[in-house]
Chain A
Amino acid sequence: MTTPTMEMAIREDSLFSKFGQWCQRDKRGAVSLLVLMIIIGIAIFAPWIAPHSPTEQDFSKMLMAPSAEHWLGTDDLGRDVLSRLIHGTSKSVYAAFLAVGVSLLIGVPIGLLAGFLGGWIDIGISRVIDTLLSFPAIVLAVAVTGAMGIGLTNSMISVGIVFSPHLARLIRARALVIREELYVDAARCFGASTIRLLVKHVTPNAIQPVIVQCTLLLALALLAEASLSFLGLGVQPPDPSWGQMLARAYMYMEITPEQMYAPGLMIMVTALTFNTLGESLRVALDPTMKGL
């Protein structure tokens, strides 16, 4: 039992001061949030930040070493690598969010239905989830992209499809617990329909672990985009993405080995940021950790 004074104190905390407290408590989380905001900022304002056009070719300046005009050098078509890196940020970040969005759209409703309805529907859906989880993820994404047609959007929809069983399994487990809760029973007694129960009562209470998982999936989706674009199944020329830049750097590795470092580091830093933020969210949202 909490005393009334404590409850009031908690209530008086504004969202802003709560955020400030969280930043102090979890410095690593705060830093990763800052880095993520910078990355998203670069993604949004890419056209204004980039010093050159990402697609403008200059055949007199092919595969140049870093210089004052081209900080990271130029690629095999004389395009400015730094500008491509900056514009690639938007593609890569968009790709990661698209994939996770798709897996949310597919995974959450399916997991909710399986967990909430139970019975044969649950058994059937769970079997499909188990099976899909034994598919090596990127392999399946490559095969689905191949069938749907190559391109950034298609490949990220494939990645989203491939990731959705993870979310479905997670939310199914939560829904299984929540459907037994008293407040769900109460709502049902008041005549709430199944849809209303799912939308108003089950989803808001089941979504927390999903938010954490989504943050971690963003890192995996980013790596998947890089892999698929590297293989030529994702972003199509002349558009830049980090994976696609690595594919070009790979072809000219013996002449300009330094060109592979910047895109690879960007992928690593961004994936690291998503992972760290996910871990921080897990701690911050965990009800058992409240008040610590």
Chain B
Amino acid sequence: MLLNRFVQAIPIMILATFLVFSLLQLVPGDVAITIAGENASEERIQEIRELYGLNQPFLVQYGNWLLNAIQGDFGDSLLSGEPVLETIFRVFPNTLFVVVYAVILSVVIGVPLGIMASSRPNSKLDGAIMGASSLGVAVPNFWLGMVLVSVFALTWNWFPATGFTSPSDGLSSAIWFATLPAIALCTNGIAEVARQLRSSLVEIHSSQYVRTLHAKGLSPVAILWKHGLKNVSVNLLTVISLLFNKALAATVVVETVFAIPGMGNTIVKAVLEGDFPVVQGAVLAMVVSVILVNLVTDLTYTILDPRIQQV
């Protein structure tokens, strides 16, 4: 099972590398000219072609790039000359820190809300929680970030407006700086967790075996903990792994608002400057992390729900 799942992830990884590399093919005109600059001499452009292997057929270029990438060589930044892998190692932990923080917040806030909403379906409380989660899905998270900065940082001075401390330089300070970005990122997650949990719990509460448990005199709290949450844990896990993907995507804008030196910020800067190796490496790193999270999620399913193992 374990091995099987790993083997399944490999073609997806390879396909992902191919798609990421193909991004370069979308660039209109000659990439060599784009890299060298509009006014570069013919010799310089030719030199760039040789250097990056752009004069070779596409598949050969891809093969070479993939071989290097497997060995951890994603090329160097066209602007700073820093190896792309070093950039990724430098900025990815910052992004992961904020994303994990946001996912934790989503679960910690979303789960009680979902339980509350499901305890009395169609009540006023349920309506209010579900209404709030509709807003949570619709709010643009970077705008929420701006509002948070304006209110909590610039007006009330509770939190720093922008900037970031790496978790390795001091955890408490890192949490301090990452709180507003994490709040901005987590509204969507809170809403998704609350909705999913509510609908699964309502379904379970109306099932035959829960009715039997009620009849046998088990308290609602015991039913929730021993039977309800245990049975929705798989659904919840699916939502959490999707949240990781979404929060990772949202960092692209939120990191810009809070000036966090993370992956999103790096990708946006690289895109605006035409720094293709950085774009390719950073996008690939994000995709690989999503694939890994999906893999871990699938493996955790089998622990939470032994029935899945047979599939």
Contacts and interface: CB of A to CB of B under 8 A. Distances in A.
Contacts of B24: 147
B271 interface: yes
Contacts of A275: 134, 137-138
Contact of A227 (B137, B252, B272, B287): B252
B146 A136 contact: no
B26 A134 contact: no
A274 B290 CA distance: 28
Nearest to B289: A136
Nearest to A135: B287
A167 interface: no
B223 interface: no
A157 to B, nearest CB: 10
Contacts of A233: 268, 271-272
B28 interface: yes
B268 A231 contact: yes
A136 B28 contact: no
Contact of A144 (B26, B140, B253): B26
A254 B19 CA distance: 42
Nearest to A130: B12
Interface string B21-44: 001101110000000000000000
B143 to A, nearest CB: 4
A192 interface: no
A131 B253 contact: no
Interface string B62-92: 0000000000000000000000000000000
A20 interface: no
Interface string A113-133: 000000000000001101110
Interface string B246-260: 101110110011000
A135 B290 contact: yes
A230 interface: yes
A139 B150 contact: no
A65 interface: no
A202 interface: no
A157 B27 CA distance: 14
Contacts of B294: 134
B264 interface: yes
Q: Residue among A226, A231, A276 with the most chain B CB within 10 A? A: A231
A281 B270 CA distance: 41
A260 B151 CA distance: 12
B218 interface: no
Contact of A260 (B139, B147, B271): B147
Contact of B138 (A134, A140, A272): A272
Given A143-B283, A231-B268, A268 B135 contact: yes
Nearest to B24: A147
A254 B248 contact: no
B291 interface: yes
Nearest to B137: A275
B23 to A, nearest CB: 5
A263 B147 CA distance: 12
B149 interface: yes
B33 to A, nearest CB: 14
Binding site of A, secondary structure by majority: helix, strand, loop or mixed? helix
A253 B16 contact: no
Contact of A132 (B19, B139, B248, B250): B19
Interface string A221-235: 001001100111100
Given A147-B23, A147-B27, A250 B154 contact: no
A145 B279 CA distance: 11
B57 interface: no
Contacts of B19: 128, 131-132, 135
A128 B257 CA distance: 33
Given A138-B252, A138-B253, A257-B154, A143 B15 contact: no
A267 interface: yes
Contact of A131 (B15, B139, B155, B246): B15
A219 interface: yes
Nearest to B247: A136
Contacts of B267: 139, 142-143
A78 interface: no
Contacts of B270: 146
B143 A231 contact: no
A89 to B, nearest CB: 15
Interface in B1-30: 11-12, 15-16, 19-20, 23-24, 26-28
A85 interface: no
Interface string B115-145: 0000000000000000000110111101110
Given A136-B252, A140-B283, 7 more contacts: A148-B26, A219-B138, A231-B252, A246-B146, A264-B139, A264-B146, A271-B140
Q: Which 10 A-B pairs have the closest CB atoms?
A: A146-B271, A136-B249, A264-B143, A147-B26, A271-B138, A272-B138, A131-B15, A138-B249, A257-B150, A227-B253
Interface of B: 11-12, 15-16, 19-20, 23-24, 26-28, 134-135, 137-140, 142-144, 146-147, 149-150, 154-155, 245-246, 248-250, 252-253, 256-257, 264, 267-268, 270-272, 274, 279, 283, 286-287, 290-291, 294
13 contacts: A127-B12, A127-B15, A128-B19, A134-B245, A136-B248, A136-B252, A138-B250, A138-B253, A139-B283, A227-B253, A231-B268, A264-B147, A275-B138
Interface of A: 127-128, 130-132, 134-140, 142-150, 219, 223, 226-227, 230-233, 243, 246, 249-250, 253-254, 257, 260-261, 263-264, 267-269, 271-272, 275-276
